[in-house]
Structure 1
Amino acid sequence: MEKQFDEDKSEEIMEQEKQEQKEDEYEKICFVCRRPESRAGKMITMPGNITICRDCMQKAFDSFEKNGAPYGINLGVPGNGQDGFDLSALSNIPGVGVINLADLGIGEREIPKNQRIKKKKEKEKKPVFDRKTIPAPHQIKQMLDEYVVGQEKAKKAISVAVYNHYKRVCADNTDGIEIEKSNMLLLGPTGSGKTYLVKTLARLLDVPLAIADATSLTEAGYIGDDIESVVSKLLQAAGNDVEKAEQGIIYIDEIDKIAKKRNTNTRDVSGESVQQELLKMLEGSEVEVPVGSNSKNAMVPMTTVNTNNILFICGGAFPDLEEIIKERLTKESSIGFRAELRDRYDQDENLLCKAEMDDLKKFGMIPEFLGRLPVLVSLEALTKEFMIRILKEPKNAILKQYEKLLQMDEVQLVFEDDALEAIAEKAMERHTGARALRAILEEYMLDIMYEIPKDDNIGRVTITKAYIEKTGGPIIDMRGVMRLGVHA
């Protein structure tokens, strides 16, 4: 019995030691000011596992002295051997009672894990990539080619910009030469693949990525997300690891929505002011962000993130920018043989590729903001041929996804070439880019996905042009039976 008792006791001690090791991975946080130990200095542990920084504790004692308490207590400064203090000193102050905070159920362990900051490793700081493992631009583009159809110019520009950025992160600045950041601005019509390009890039490179929506950003003090919430999302994506987050990618979508508002008498809290607040962050600065939350409040711990090595990519559709470009291109029109026709660019679907910084300034983007986005990349509008290729060529193509779904029911799915052309034509009519393809397929595959599991004898389903145009139905092959045409 005694031996069994000793074994149970030793297991309990081992479990307790493991728990303490896990807790040691996280920094202690001041219960009053919510600063971590790396910023506030060594913490003082009180009953109930409460940790308080020396500054907050000294302020408490100073307030006692101001109120006429006869006993002054000096905590000293870190490094002089005074690592704690005697709580019994508080009981000597008249009218002050020591409360055991453990009885209130409050303590550092009560902080949610997603709001706790991991300790920085003491070993030498390692970048996400070292110099030997950075993929070359042609390798990055080859990886993107497997998932993204077309957009050759955009993929090449992004590959070079990312390659140079991570070389900059690994660069040795002892020679006094510091490489500046090459943040990017993506222009392209809706559904052309701006967000998909960045998502694919981050997944292939295995770096933290945060996607923020510029429409929710407002000037500090107004309802909406603060600028710091953009960096806070990246910190969450990196698992609250500050070092990893400082070498990630932030993509700010719908950047055209924070352009300066024209002809308005109201205060512009989500336009030019947001651009101005983003300036220092794009360039590189120390940003204080909440951990595990998008809003600052007294109960959320704060940490500092340096944005110097974070790559910022901004993207937007910039509606009506074509009219500004067209006006610039045709402003020298005159009567004569060399005159530019006013309607020459009306049918040009890739007019955004001719965009210049002056056009974006007229649109409402301030010069200081554009100056911090030196790489301007324009994406091409999707043609019918591009749509067909998007349906079947990428590694994660939409048709391959539906084929996999039916394979799980042991049914083969086949699309005729004429059917793919009909789907692409319908998608072009919707003017929403590649997003229209999935919407159309969901509409036509609904009945098929509903009916197929009813009959185990179905072996193959062929989608025809007649079915897409609603003049016929799909062709269904039964196992061991002749082909049947099912009409709508």
Structure 2
Amino acid sequence: MSNLTPREIVSELDRYIIGQEAAKRMVAIAMRNRWRRQQLDPELRDEIAPKNIILMGPTGVGKTEIARRLARLTNCPFFKVEATKFTEVGYVGRDVESMVRDLMEVGVNMVRKEETEKVRIKAEKYAEERLLDLLLPSKPKSSGPAGFFMGSANGEVEEQKEEPKDSGTREKFRQMFRRGELDEREVEMEVSTQSGAQVEIMAIPGMEEMGSNLQNAFSNMFPDRKKQRKMKIKEAYQVLIDEEADKLIDPETVNELARERVEQQGILFVDEMDKIASRQDAGGSSADVSREGVQRDLLPVVEGSVVNTKYGMIKTDHILFIAAGAFHFAKPSDLIPELQGRFPLREELNSLHKEEFYRILTEPKNALTVQYKALLETEGVSIDFTKEALEEISSNAEKINEETENIGARRLYTIMEKILANLSFEAPDKSGQKVVVDRDYVKDQIDDVVEDRDLSRYIL
């Protein structure tokens, strides 16, 4: 696990997320506490529970992005789920434990990818040899009845050994392949394909794990088939690398490493947590009963329990849970007391204004302006945004959020798409041109929509 200090974590998050300093500091401390826990004696280590977090704030202010970037930064298994998926009035919702199984799938894929990288050099070497075998098939020494067998001195039939391959020709082909001169040449090779019988199991709500196990059992009854397929050498090489890497990786080791990483470093992000909180003034409707039922199902998973997955039993005692929600109507205090106690850290994220919108358009490594410039450059169109244009976009984003629904930074997407819609359509015809987006350009594209509140409600 990464041993970044809280200050370093916040600094890295600043490259992608504008503002929300208090929330960044809180998640940075939570991650550092996990590292600190790993340095302790095993006896004390098991006693320290993770400090789960509730992030409160309107949509589009960075709650999910903070958690997602944190997981990438520290290389932790991360899975996001909406709490509302676990309930539906009149129906049984998804099994709450299914999010742990989904997190385990993420962990397995993550570890498998890492293990593949470790053996990649060896896999490339074996794949290259197999590719040269396809390009230079070996010939038998002499031909018997079928070209491969002949009688021995004592009358027995024995298989002939292959003639030594021409090492000079093989090395010549090897150098041509490494230089990329053979990439477009076609070879015929045997590849694995899934069998024709695909079994879909309709799982009963709350019994998804049983459905998954049944599907795996049926799939094993129809093993993969082999078939000859023609493909270009460049593509064949990648297929062979994957096949050789699979041979070099031990699935049991992958599963064990993934289980340990999920248990010790996993992060589950539970969004829309406020939607399952029962408001005190609601009067105890059937919907509130359903919501409280989901909370009581969620409680043992957050507290620490053992969940059965197809990779084995997973303990949830030290998985970090980050809950999020707008909490406009319901409050964290509306959650059942036991669940409240399992989320000791709480932070409210601030609404975004034009100053933050301007920074979002200019500062992050993946800023929207950077994305649009790169997209249009593929058509040979160079686009430049002036400072005044970005200020106008930011001001309009704030205005529309105030007058309609506040969707935070997501409003910038709708405005930018509206502004650049015509240019994106005409880009193939403007190859080689440079376009400057200034304040007047922005006003021409969106002023009529911004001024008409009904139009802006539906379009922006």
Give TM-score scaled by structure 2 length. 0.59
Aligned counterpart, 2:415: 440
1 or 2 for the larger relative contact order (CA 8 Å, sep ≥6)?
A: 2
Aligned counterpart, 2:384: 414
Q: 1:263: Cα distance to partner?
A: 2.3
Q: 1:142: Cα distance to partner?
A: 1.0
Aligned counterpart, 2:260: 243
Q: 1:442: Cα distance to partner?
A: 1.1
Which one-letter code corresponds to 1:461 in the other structure? V
- Deviations 1:82-103, CA, capped at 9 Å, x for gaps: xxxxxxxxxxxxxxxxxxxxxx
Q: 1:219: Cα distance to partner?
A: 9.0
**Using a 3 Å threshold, how does the CA distance of structure 1 residues 270 and 171 change in structure 2: closer, same or farther?**
farther
**1:165–1:311 contact (8 Å) kept in structure 2:** no
Structure whose alpha-carbon radius of gyration is higher: 1
**Using a 3 Å threshold, how does the CA distance of structure 1 residues 170 and 235 change in structure 2: closer, same or farther?**
farther
Task: Pick one of 402, 405, 416 that aligns with 2:372.
Answer: 402
Q: Which is worse superposed, 211-220 or 158-167?
A: 211-220
Task: Pick one of 305, 308, 311 that aligns with 1:288.
Answer: 308
Aligned counterpart, 2:438: 464
Structure 1: which 5+ residue stretches go unaligned?
1-128, 292-301, 322-358, 474-488
Separation in 1, partners of 2:6, 2:371: 29
Separation in 2, partners of 1:230, 1:288: 12
Task: Pick one of 311, 316, 340 that aligns with 2:320.
Answer: 311
Aligned counterpart, 1:272: 292
Q: 1:170: Cα distance to partner?
A: 4.7
Give SS of 1:271's match: helix
Separation in 2, partners of 1:309, 1:179: 8
**2:419–2:445 contact (8 Å) kept in structure 1:** no
Which one-letter code corresponds to 2:362 in the other structure? K
Aligned counterpart, 1:360: 332
**Using a 3 Å threshold, how does the CA distance of structure 1 residues 457 and 242 change in structure 2: closer, same or farther?**
closer
Give SS of 2:444's match: coil
Q: Give the paired residue count.
A: 291
**Using a 3 Å threshold, how does the CA distance of structure 1 residues 176 and 213 change in structure 2: closer, same or farther?**
closer
**Using a 3 Å threshold, how does the CA distance of structure 1 residues 269 and 226 change in structure 2: closer, same or farther?**
farther
Separation in 1, partners of 2:89, 2:421: 46
Q: 1:417: Cα distance to partner?
A: 1.6
Which one-letter code corresponds to 2:55 in the other structure? L
**2:56–2:325 contact (8 Å) kept in structure 1:** yes
User: Superposition pairs for residues 14-33 of structure 1, below 5 Å?
Assistant: none
Task: Pick one of 322, 339, 342 that aligns with 1:369.
Answer: 339
User: Superposition pairs for residues 213-228 of structure 1, below 5 Å?
Assistant: 213-218=82-87, 222-228=91-97
Give SS of 2:417's match: helix
Give SS of 1:395's match: coil
Give SS of 1:156's match: helix
Aligned counterpart, 2:276: 258
**1:190–1:432 contact (8 Å) kept in structure 2:** yes
Q: 1:175: Cα distance to partner?
A: 5.5
**2:56–2:347 contact (8 Å) kept in structure 1:** yes
Q: Does 1:423 align with 2:414?
A: no
Q: Which is worse superposed, 244-253 or 264-273?
A: 264-273
Give SS of 1:135's match: coil
Separation in 2, partners of 1:232, 1:271: 22
Q: 1:471: Cα distance to partner?
A: 7.0
**2:37–2:45 contact (8 Å) kept in structure 1:** no
Separation in 2, partners of 1:409, 1:471: 21
- Deviations 1:143-173, CA, capped at 9 Å, x for gaps: 1111111111111111011110232245323
Sequence identity (%): 39
**1:253–1:314 contact (8 Å) kept in structure 2:** yes
**Using a 3 Å threshold, how does the CA distance of structure 1 residues 151 and 264 change in structure 2: closer, same or farther?**
same
Give SS of 1:186's match: strand
Separation in 1, partners of 2:101, 2:45: 31
Which one-letter code corresponds to 2:93 in the other structure? G
Separation in 2, partners of 1:224, 1:171: 40
- Deviations 1:205-237, CA, capped at 9 Å, x for gaps: 111101010011139994321110111110111
Task: Pick one of 179, 199, 212 that aligns with 2:48.
Answer: 179
Query: What is the root-mean-square deviation of aligned Cα atoms in Å?
Result: 2.4
Separation in 1, partners of 2:261, 2:319: 10
**Using a 3 Å threshold, how does the CA distance of structure 1 residues 370 and 471 change in structure 2: closer, same or farther?**
closer
**Using a 3 Å threshold, how does the CA distance of structure 1 residues 270 and 388 change in structure 2: closer, same or farther?**
farther
The structure carrying a bigger helix percent of its residues is 2
Separation in 1, partners of 2:305, 2:85: 22
Q: 1:390: Cα distance to partner?
A: 0.4
Separation in 2, partners of 1:393, 1:140: 17
**Using a 3 Å threshold, how does the CA distance of structure 1 residues 156 and 469 change in structure 2: closer, same or farther?**
same
**Using a 3 Å threshold, how does the CA distance of structure 1 residues 257 and 162 change in structure 2: closer, same or farther?**
same
Which one-letter code corresponds to 1:134 in the other structure? N
Which one-letter code corresponds to 1:395 in the other structure? K
